[in-house]
């Protein structure tokens, strides 16, 4: 019988679309996959891992000083602890009106000032190594976005800062590639690492109402094979506010260790992705439901 040219023993790195060799597959990803489930402690209030459900909330980008204070004020009343204050945004399309651009480095000064009045745990995305030092001095958690998941130099530099890192899965990578990226951080001796599932590209996605598809199964699989906390971002996955609540609840049912929920006082005025944020009332309702789920799953909502 004629041998199929793709038979396993012929697998090699010759196919230019593959960057994994059979040899690579032999390597065990020991740092992200072995040992007891990790608890990542950010400070005395905020922990990621078994028994906890931290909820990260906030707008897509910080937009303006006024918005920052408006959201901070409401979050304090609601009891939110983790505030996403993204000053840097990797925007998919460059040809947009001026309002779409991120606030950039000046946003870090706004956050510095805000910190004098509000004691949140602050999370900001990092897009370039040049901002690392200032960012690491300003916020508590660095987020490495899906588009940078395999920007290994950025990963390693961030790891060396010893800050807690949220690494988002790229929307087109395997779990092995995701864990491979995580190993780059862990190998630098930084174990303060949290993984985030944020949706994958699938045939029915990239429509108005579902840009990506939340890979709930990835949460279950990563819980099985990895020792790292895994959180879920239903906002960026669905791109569609009405689906955020059911997907958030499903993520918790699947065992996630935290959530990112985009929240804006006036979603339709959000400068980026206005279809996906929850307004404050919707967010409060979701939080109440999550509180009930936490009782069933023996978790503490943070």
Q: Is 263 in the site for Mn ion (CB under 5 A)?
A: no
CB-facing half-sphere around the CA of 229: CA atoms within 13 A: 26
Binding site for ligand PEP (CB under 6 A): 60, 86, 125, 145-147, 168, 198, 233, 236
Residue 100: phi, psi to the nearest 5?
-80, -10
Return the closest-CA partner of residue 83 out of 110, 51, 50, 49: 110
Site map for Mn ion, 216-255, x if CB under 5 A? ----------------------------------------
Q: What does 86 bind: Mn ion, ligand PEP, none (CB cut-off 5 to 8 Å by kind)?
A: ligand PEP
Return the closest-CA partner of residue 245 out of 235, 231, 257: 235
At its nearest, how many Å lie between Mn ion and the CB of residue 91?
9
Residue 258: phi, psi to the nearest 5?
160, 170
Residue (47 or 170) nearer to ligand PEP, CB = 170
Separation CA 148–CA 145 (nearest Å): 5
At its nearest, how many Å lie between ligand PEP and the CB of residue 131?
15
Helix (H) or strand (E) holding 300: strand 300-301
Site map for Mn ion, 53-92, x if CB under 5 A? -------x--------------------------------
Return the closest-CA partner of residue 52 out of 38, 62, 32: 38
Residue (96 or 300) nearer to ligand PEP, CB = 96
Site map for Mn ion, 2-41, x if CB under 5 A? ----------------------------------------
Q: What does 146 bind: ligand PEP, Mn ion, none (CB cut-off 5 to 8 Å by kind)?
A: ligand PEP
Q: How far is CA 101 from CA 91, 94, 105, 134, in A?
A: 8, 9, 12, 20
Q: What does 163 bind: Mn ion, ligand PEP, none (CB cut-off 5 to 8 Å by kind)?
A: none
Q: Residue-wise over 98-134: b if at least 16 C-beta within 10 A, else e?
A: eeeebbeeebbebbeebbeebebbbbbbbbeeebbee
Residue (60 or 151) nearer to ligand PEP, CB = 60
């Amino acid at each position: 019988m004629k041998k199929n040219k793709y038979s396993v023993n012929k697998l090699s790195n010759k196919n230019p679309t593959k960057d994994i060799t059979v040899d690579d597959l032999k390597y065990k990803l020991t740092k992200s996959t072995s040992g007891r489930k990790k608890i990542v402690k950010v400070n005395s209030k905020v922990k990621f891992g078994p028994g906890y459900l931290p909820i990260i909330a906030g707008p897509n980008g910080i937009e303006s000083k006024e918005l920052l204070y408006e959201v901070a004020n409401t979050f304090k009343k609601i009891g939110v602890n983790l505030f996403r204050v993204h000053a840097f945004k990797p925007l998919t399309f460059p040809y947009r009106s001026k309002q779409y651009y991120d606030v950039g480095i000046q946003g870090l000064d706004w956050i510095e000032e805000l910190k004098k009045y509000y004691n949140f745990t602050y999370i900001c995305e990092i897009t370039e190594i040049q901002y690392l030092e200032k960012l690491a001095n300003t916020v508590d958690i660095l987020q490495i976005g899906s588009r940078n998941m395999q920007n290994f130099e950025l990963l390693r530099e961030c790891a060396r800062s010893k800050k807690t890192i949220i690494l988002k899965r790229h929307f087109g990578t395997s779990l092995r590639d995701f864990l491979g990226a995580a190993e780059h951080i862990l190998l630098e001796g930084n174990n303060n690492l949290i993984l985030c599932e944020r949706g994958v590209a699938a045939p029915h996605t990239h429509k108005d109402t579902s840009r990506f598809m939340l890979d709930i199964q990835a949460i279950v699989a990563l819980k099985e094979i990895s020792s790292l906390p895994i959180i879920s971002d239903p906002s960026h996955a669905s791109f569609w506010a009405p689906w955020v609540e059911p997907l958030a609840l499903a993520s918790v049912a699947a065992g996630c260790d935290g959530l990112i929920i985009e929240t804006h006082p006036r979603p339709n005025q959000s400068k980026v992705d206005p279809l996906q944020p929850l307004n404050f009332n919707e967010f409060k309702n979701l939080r109440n439901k999550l509180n009930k789920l936490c009782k069933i799953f023996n978790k503490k909502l943070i």
